[in-house]
Amino acid sequence: MAERTVAACAQEKATSSREETRSQERYITPPVDIYETTNGLVVTADLPGVAKESLDVRVENNLLTIRGKAAHAAPGGPVYREYGLVNFFRQFELNEKVDQSKISAEVKDGVLTLNLPKAEEAKPRKIEVKAE
């Protein structure tokens, strides 16, 4: 078994409630990478076609919500179609060990990067061993 310290864990929340209440609105789940650094968690998500203005990232009751409205960039009438762009939606449940006031987000080239820093008390501490 690989030894690892899970200081702050983001768990995916079932989003079935949303499907029931907003059945008209179609959305897709963006692929994400979540990895841990010494400072906290980094979440990156592919959100092609989402401008900064139409991206909504929020944290409520330990629930991180990523929501984006995607728009096509090319004019003209369709000839051949391999993909559609509908709204993006994904939720993750955050652990208390994430310092929610210090979360920062950045979007570049259709990729969202979220920094979720660990709360001070959850950071690993090196304990000095004194030799007599």
Partner 1 sequence: MAEWNHFSDVEALRREIGRAFEDFGFEQGPSHRVAFLPGREPRRYPLVNLLEDKDHIYVEALTPGVDPKSINLTAMQNRLTLAGEKSGIPGDIKPEAFHRNERASGKFVRTIDLPVEIDETGIQAEYKNGLLVVILPKAEKAKPKQISVKIA
Q: Which residues bind partner 1 (CB under 8 A)?
A: 2, 4, 9-10, 26, 28, 30-37, 41, 44-51, 72-86, 109-111
Q: Distance between CA 37 and CA 111 in Å, rounded?
A: 19
Q: Distance between CA 120 and CA 3 in Å, rounded?
A: 22
Cβ neighbors of 11 (< 8 A, separation 6 or more) are: 92, 93, 95
Minimum gap (Å) between residue 2 Cβ and partner 1 = 5
Minimum gap (Å) between residue 132 Cβ and partner 1 = 36
Residue with smaller CB distance to partner 1, 4 or 126: 4
Residue with smaller CB distance to partner 1, 6 or 129: 6
Burial of 111 (0-12, 13-18, 19+ CB in 10 A): middle
Residue with smaller CB distance to partner 1, 83 or 126: 83
Minimum gap (Å) between residue 126 Cβ and partner 1 = 19
Give the closest residue to 34 by CA, choosing from 70, 60, 71, 8.
Answer: 8
Residue with smaller CB distance to partner 1, 103 or 129: 103
Minimum gap (Å) between residue 8 Cβ and partner 1 = 10
